[in-house]
């Protein structure tokens, strides 16, 4: 079983602990020469992604806000972050098996991301258990995977709207979250988020790099087509404040950073070649 078939197998694992361990092991095997068939067209089995019965998944509006200033609230907040990291393991593995015909480096990049997201989940789950809870004890939402399903047929759209849109929101959210946790006296959570923020910059950079690669193959302007992708796939509207230094380190251009800060009431969704991005296929 080669790297991509193994990634699909790991994606289907139900136990979060087993999935995290297997994702890290798979990346090590890939580095040590496990075969990789970039052209194989794999069939999606039942049970993608594998996940436990709990947490119960609700819409984002149904999940209550979490305050870090009570033990229960802090545990719920750590749980919410752990849930994002668990989903991020699934997203990285899904990119590996789903999109055939990309360069070998694409798959190795996303296997690395899966391994690092697995480490993030494990760190958070260990901390959550020190607060008297386990993953699954609180309700969660499924926004990340919903966008993965919407972009399942186009690697360009996936790169545009998952790592460099939804996951990049974590770059903006982490420093204010760390400040709250510091005020609540949770130094361990702050330290874990330091690790996550540093590595998530790299993950978003990978998304940016492969998004631009796909745009070059299709002869598209990555800045011009982005609003059309947001509209077509119903991606959430991004709102300030933005962590501009982290986004810059993750490969966003000055033009893209200016777009983020522009007045979103302007109609920016009429990019003439958005349909090409939606309907094209990278090779």
* Number of neighbours of residue 201 by Cβ within 10 angstroms: 21
Tokens (6 digits) for 88: 């991020």
Q: What is the pLDDT of residue 195?
A: 98
Q: What is the pLDDT of residue 278?
A: 40
Place of tokens 């490969």: 251
Give the domains, in start order, of the chain with CATH numbers.
1-38+58-141 (1.20.120), 149-283 (no CATH)
Q: What is the pLDDT of residue 260?
A: 85
Mean predicted lDDT score pLDDT of the chain:
91
**Three-state DSSP state, 163:** helix
For 83-101, letters b (16+ CB in 10 Å) and e give bbbbbbbbbbbbbbbbbbe
Phi, psi angle pair for 263, to nearest 5°: -75, 115
- HSE-CB for 183 with a 13 A CA cutoff: 9
The CA distance from 85 to 88, in Å, is: 5
Q: Per residue in 120-149, pLDDT tens?
A: 999 999 999 999 999 999 999 888 899 999
DSSP state of 57: E
The CA distance from 163 to 99, in Å, is: 15
Q: What is the pLDDT of residue 60?
A: 75
Q: What is the pLDDT of residue 263?
A: 42
pTM score of the predicted model: 0.91
**Three-state DSSP state, 89:** helix
Q: What is the pLDDT of residue 127?
A: 98
As averages over each run of 10 residues, the pLDDT of the chain (283 residues) reads 96 97 98 96 92 90 83 95 96 98 98 98 98 96 89 97 95 96 97 98 98 98 95 90 96 92 49 36 30
């Amino acid at each position: 079983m080669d790297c991509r078939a193994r990634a699909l197998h790991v994606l289907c694992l139900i136990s979060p602990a087993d999935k995290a361990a297997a994702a890290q092991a798979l990346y090590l095997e890939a580095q040590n020469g496990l075969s990789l068939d970039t052209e194989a067209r794999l069939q999606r089995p039942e049970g993608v992604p594998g996940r436990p019965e709990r947490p119960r998944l609700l819409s984002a509006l149904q999940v209550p806000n979490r305050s870090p200033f009570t033990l229960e609230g802090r545990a719920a907040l750590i749980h919410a972050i752990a849930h994002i990291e668990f989903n991020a393991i699934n997203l990285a593995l899904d990119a590996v098996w789903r999109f055939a015909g990309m360069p070998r480096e694409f798959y190795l990049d996303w296997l690395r991301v899966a391994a690092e997201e697995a480490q993030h989940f494990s760190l958070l789950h260990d901390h959550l258990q020190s607060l008297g809870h386990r993953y699954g004890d609180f309700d969660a939402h499924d926004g990340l995977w919903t966008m993965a399903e919407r972009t399942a047929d186009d690697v360009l759209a996936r790169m545009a709207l998952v790592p460099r849109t939804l996951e990049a929101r974590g770059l903006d959210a982490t420093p204010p979250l760390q400040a709250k946790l510091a005020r609540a006296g949770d130094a361990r959570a702050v330290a874990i988020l330091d690790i996550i923020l540093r590595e998530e910059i790299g993950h978003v950079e990978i998304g940016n790099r492969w998004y631009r690669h796909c745009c070059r193959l299709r002869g598209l302007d990555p800045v011009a087509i982005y609003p059309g992708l947001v509209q077509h796939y119903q991606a959430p509207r991004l709102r300030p404040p933005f962590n501009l230094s982290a986004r810059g380190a993750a490969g966003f251009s000055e033009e893209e950073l200016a777009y983020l800060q522009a007045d979103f009431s302007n109609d920016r969704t009429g990019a003439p070649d958005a349909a090409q991005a939606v309907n094209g296929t990278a090779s």
